[in-house]
Every structure is written in structure tokens, then in C-alpha cells.
Amino acid sequence: MQPFLQQLMDRGALWQGRQSHVQELAWVSAADPLLDQALGGGWVRSRIHELQVQQRFSGEMPLLAPAINNAVARGLSVFWVAPPAIPNAPALASTGAESRHIVLTPNDESDALWAAETILYSGQAGVLLLWAKKLSATATRRLHLAASDSDAYVFVITDWQPEEARSYGTRLRIHHEQGQVQWQILKRHGGWPVRLPRRALPRWPHG
């Protein structure tokens, strides 16, 4: 394949016909009716969903709770790659006693990406959570390939990002002031960007 074409491919600017073979779209709720409706039903499986937060711990995790429960129901593991703190076992009990939560703390970006890819290709992941400052286009591209080859719900939690094309399924920016939160959907499957009304900070479900 010529190098020039390879570059185009890497930048995600090229759309290949035969690549999107027919696959019925499995999705799971995002724990909020308005958001579900905006996302066309919720989080889609085998896609990458980006959540941008100004500071950590502003109500992003409760949105992923249904996805995690779904993974556990399917007997698959939940992988936390480079989390900002320790996922606390007693609170995770709401996902069930047999659930398997595996935490990875790689010491640099490349290791984190390698790990995410290997996990997705292994088919063992029910949910993959990846925290990163920012991800390059090629990185998101390779992740997208790995995700589409897996049965996992994949979420990337980063800081606020400048407007650049990335091969994410959904891109969601969370505004948070004084205990109120507002979701701004920058990119979604089959729909224009939209900003949802403000509402109270969601809580992680009790055990």
C-alpha cells in the first residue's frame, strides 16, 4: 500500500466501503433518559465513547454504571486503565459479588495504549475504561479498530479537547458548576451536536 494512502488512512480521512460489515448495533442505557434519547438509545457496543471533564470526579462515572452491570452479566471483566484514584470495592459491590475488576497502572502512554489494544483484541473485556490527558489521531484510530473487533463498551475519559477530528463513536463534554452538571454532545452517531439542560450531579448507585 503506498505510503501516501497509509497517511490518509491514519488520519481517518479515508472511508473504506467493505469495512463496515453488517452488525446490529447493541447499546446500553447511559443512566439518564434525556441522554439516552440524545444518544439514540445509549452507549453503543464496540465503539469508543469520549467523555471530556474539566476536573476529575464530576459525576462522569454514574453514566457508565449500566454498561458495567451489563458486562458483568455477560461474565466479562471490567478493565480500569490508569484510573485517577482507587476504585473502592465496597462501592463496586452494586455491580455484584462475582464481578471481576482489573486495574492497570502503566507508567507511560504507549504502555497504556498497548494494554488497551491487547485487552480489546483478547475478547475478555466487557467494559474498558481508559484515562488519558489526550490521544493522537493514530492512537484513537488503532483503538477504534480494536474496539470494533471486541464486544466491549469502551470509554475514554480525558480533559477538554480542542476541535479536531477523532474516530470516536460519541464525544461528550461535561460542564459542572456548583453541584449542577450539563452535558454537551459534540459528536454522536447519526445526529448534530446538542447541549442538554442542566441537572443535579448524578450519584453512584448504592449497593
Give the binding site for another protein (CB under 8 A).
Answer: 55-62, 77, 84-93, 95-107, 111, 114-115, 118-119, 121-124, 149, 176-180, 201-204, 206-207
Cβ closer to another protein: 8 or 73?
Answer: 73
Cβ closer to another protein: 157 or 166?
Answer: 157
Asked whether 160 and 147 are in contact (CB, 8 A), the reply is no
Q: What minimum distance in Å lies between the beta carbon of 183 and another protein?
A: 14
Q: Coil, helix or strand for 11?
A: helix
Query: Phi, psi (5° rounding) for residue 58?
Result: -110, 55
Asked whether 59 and 204 are in contact (CB, 8 A), the reply is no
Write the DSSP assignment of 150-206 as a string of letters.
SS-EEEEEES---S-----SEEEEEEEETTEEEEEEEEBTTB--EEPPPEEPP-PPP
Q: What minimum distance in Å lies between the beta carbon of 12 and another protein?
A: 22
53: alpha, beta or left? (left if phi > 0; alpha if psi -120 to 50)? beta
Q: What minimum distance in Å lies between the beta carbon of 3 and another protein?
A: 26
Cβ closer to another protein: 3 or 179?
Answer: 179
Cβ closer to another protein: 68 or 139?
Answer: 68
Q: What minimum distance in Å lies between the beta carbon of 62 and another protein?
A: 8
Q: What minimum distance in Å lies between the beta carbon of 172 and another protein?
A: 16
- The Cα 205–Cα 104 span in angstroms is 24
Q: What minimum distance in Å lies between the beta carbon of 78 and another protein?
A: 9
Cβ closer to another protein: 118 or 136?
Answer: 118
Cβ closer to another protein: 114 or 160?
Answer: 114
Write the DSSP assignment of 15-57 as a string of letters.
--GGGS------EE--S-HHHHHHTTSSEETTSEEEEEESSS-
